[in-house]
Structures are given as C-alpha cells and as structure tokens.
Amino acid sequence: MKKSILDKLLDEDIFLKENKEEDKVLSPLLEEINLISSVHIKNFVRSVLLKCEAFWIIPSSFSKKYHPIDEHDQGGNVIHTQRAVRAAKILCASYGLETEESDLIYAALLLHDITKGVKRDGDSSYVYDPFHPYTVEKFVMWCIEEDKKYSSEASSATLYIDDKTVQEIMRLIRCHLGPWSPVPETIPGTHLEMIVHLADNISSKLHTIVDGEAIIEYRWKPDDNKSK
C-alpha cells in the first residue's frame, strides 16, 4: 500500500527526532563523522558507534604507558579517535586521495578501536584486548543482525552499505597496528592501509612529537590547563 503524504511527513518527523537524539550521543565525533561524503558509509559508522557502549567509556591506553596523558582516563579512546581522524585528513590531502578512498579511511579510523576494551568474566571493568583489530568485524556483523530485527525506513542502519565496502573498511582496521600487529599477515601493504596505520601511530605519539623527551604533563591535562 502506497504511503500517504501524511505518513511520509510523520516518517520524516520521526527520522529528524531520532537523528537529533543520535547526534547527542555522537556529538564528540560529529565533526569527524561528517568528513565522510558517502551517506551510506556515514550512516554505517553512526549505526555502529551508537551500539558500542564500551567505546565511549574506555581510555586509549589501559597501561597508561602510551598515548597522550589526557587519553588515559574515561573517554580517552574518543579523544584518540578524534586525533587519528584529523591526522588522516592531513595524510589524505597529502596523498591527493579521491573522496571514495578518504571515506574508507575515515570510516576505518572512526571504528578501529571500538572493541579495544573487553570485560573480564564476572567483572564490570574493561581490559585491553590485543586482538581488537580482528574483533571489530565480529561486532559489526552483530550490528547488522540487530539492524535486521529493528530497522525501518526512518532509521539509519548498517544495512544500507554493501558487503564489499564493509570488507574494505574491515581490512583497513585489521592493518592499523602496523608492525605491532599480532598477526603478521595484516601488516599494511597498500597506501590506504599505511595511511590508517600512520594516522593511528602519529596520534598515539602526539605528546612525544610535540614535547619530545621533556613532556610537559599539564599540556595534556585539559582541566589543569585552566590554572596555567
């Protein structure tokens, strides 16, 4: 049965309301998400991030030995993701990439650490998963199955992206650790894979790149900066 104009307006209103609610959750990364030109890839990334509770909570470095100091506490993983995408933006421009290639890179970096933290059995805290580049795909497949149950025309969903594109993004994610990858076969081999790895590596070393060996800690603690 064909929808009436009123039905279409109601659907559009529901979509706008849902989008606003989603934007509240995604607000720390909206600028980075909106670098993606493809509506399908953008909605795919949004859908996955909205389902990944741990991503928004965990630090970027569980040992606190690595990554800038302001990423060591709750929410640090989000800050790291912001920095990785911004580093990738510079690298994409330097390589003169086509929009389609840049979209894959931005998507990969927005999702590359979503399964970095896992819960111990019987514990509510998160621990580092060294195999997180490979568990992202499993989580994405779960997201797709969930969307099959609950998706509608008025909701953004992972269903609107083709499998080939998903696999291209997953491949970039699997390669993001570079020479530190626990699986040798996923060391970067293409320029897109290398850009994802370099953006991740640069952003994780940002404090040492800026401050060298004499790291000034207050520079990397936003709350402390107010008193300086």
- DSSP structure string for the chain: -PPPHHHHHHHHHHHHHHHHHHHHHHGGGHHHHTT---HHHHHHHHHHHHH-HHHHHS-S-SSSSSS-GGGSSTTHHHHHHHHHHHHHHHHHHHHT--HHHHHHHHHHHHHTTTTSEEEPTT-SSEEE-TTHHHHHHHHHHHHHHHHHHH--TTS--GGGS-HHHHHHHHHHHHTTTGGG-SSGGGS--SHHHHHHHHHHHHHHTHHHHHHTTS--GGGG-HHHHTT-
Of the candidates 183, 179, 205, the one whose C-alpha atom is nearest the C-alpha of residue 194 is 179
Task: Give the pLDDT confidence score for residue 14 in this predicted structure.
Answer: 46
pTM: 0.87
Residue type, position 198, single letter: L
Task: Give the pLDDT confidence score for residue 94 in this predicted structure.
Answer: 96
Task: Give the pLDDT confidence score for residue 16 in this predicted structure.
Answer: 52
Place of tokens 């990423």: 71
Q: Determine phi and psi for 151, rounding to 5 degrees.
A: -70, 155
Task: Give the pLDDT confidence score for residue 165 in this predicted structure.
Answer: 96
Domain ranges of the chain: 5-225
Burial of 212 (0-12, 13-18, 19+ CB in 10 A): exposed
pLDDT per residue as tens, the chain (228 positions): 455 554 444 444 544 566 788 999 999 999 999 999 999 999 999 999 999 999 999 999 999 888 999 999 999 999 999 999 999 999 999 999 999 999 999 999 999 999 999 887 667 789 999 999 999 999 999 998 888 777 654 444 566 789 999 999 999 999 999 999 999 889 999 999 999 999 999 999 999 999 998 988 888 887 655 544
Interatomic CA distance for residues 196 and 157, integer angstroms = 24
